[in-house]
Structure 1
Amino acid sequence: MTKTYVIDGAEVTGLDAFWRVIGEAVNGPEGYFGRSLDSFADCLSGGMGTPDDGDFVIEWRDHETSRRALGQQETVRRLELRLARAHPTNKAAFQEELDRAKAGRGPTVFDWLVEIMEERAPGALRLL
């Protein structure tokens, strides 16, 4: 039987809120299901609350509200944080990505999350 996890898009006001909402959807109050893009991808690969057989669906309700909250402004904020911590050899690439985001171009945080879900759990995401 397919297990369904529900994300209430109205509660996703930024990336930190997304980590809380997805963690609680999968693992209950104060649950963990990633706190970074890499750890989220790892969690989607299994063993962190989802069924071992991969038979689950993530139903992202009111995803358009989340799309706005995880849009260009949040993307710029996240890229600025990454740039500040980047290894000197990676700074130029992060700066280019940040410049594109500031110009309103390129993928957003919402796009990053959807891409990870589609890559690690193909067919599991339902945007409602």
Structure 2
Amino acid sequence: MTDDLPVLVIDGTRFTDLDGFAREFSRLLSGYTWRGNLDALDDVLRGGYGTPAGGWVLRWVASETSRVALGHPETARRLERLLPRVDPSNRATFEARLEEARRGAGPTLFDEIVAVIRDHGPGGRESADGIVLELR
């Protein structure tokens, strides 16, 4: 039951890009700073990086504001920053994803973050982590 779980709140009005989201999310963590890497977010959600033990609620207020802030333009900006470090074997796929974001198509950064979080909650691959996402 979620009534018994600690509630951590992200305020979508407090940031306008991924770096701001990382700062806002890190504000929730005890003794750890998350820097915006989605693989690292996955690790943080598994526990041991300053999140409550035994499950918790992540209440994302003003999530529609965040959906816009972390939309296709910010997705393309993130991909452009990552491009120089992409392995040559994955470069064509990565560049296609970047072009898709530039056209305003495909999943956004908001979609990706939400998917990572939901993977650690009810019905997700890592549901044992017990994270309940509430988009408000």
TM-score by length of 1: 0.90
- Could you tell me whether the CA contact under 8 Å between 1:34 and 1:43 is conserved in 2? no
Distance 2:17 2:46 in 1: 23
Q: Does 1:115 align with 2:115?
A: yes
Which of 5, 19, 24 matches 1:16? 19
Distance 1:3 1:41 in 2: 19
Q: Which residue of 1 aligns with 2:77?
A: 77
Counterpart code for 1:126: E
What does the per-residue CA deviation read over 1:1-23, in whole Å, with 9 as the maximum and x for residues that have no partner?
31000001001211111111011
Structure 1 residue runs of 4+, over 4 Å off? none
Percent identical pairs in the alignment equals 42
Stretches of structure 1 that go unaligned for 5 or more consecutive residues are none
Output the aligned Cα RMSD.
Answer: 1.6
What does the per-residue CA deviation read over 1:73-123, in whole Å, with 9 as the maximum and x for residues that have no partner?
100111112222111111101011011111111000000100000002336
Distance 2:121 2:45 in 1: 6
Stretches of structure 2 that go unaligned for 5 or more consecutive residues are 123-130
Distance 1:59 1:2 in 2: 12
- Could you tell me whether the CA contact under 8 Å between 1:82 and 1:94 is conserved in 2? no
Distance 1:44 1:34 in 2: 14
- Could you tell me whether the CA contact under 8 Å between 2:19 and 2:35 is conserved in 1? no
TM-score by length of 2: 0.85
Distance 2:48 2:116 in 1: 17
Q: Which residue of 1 aligns with 2:125?
A: none
Distance 2:106 2:81 in 1: 17
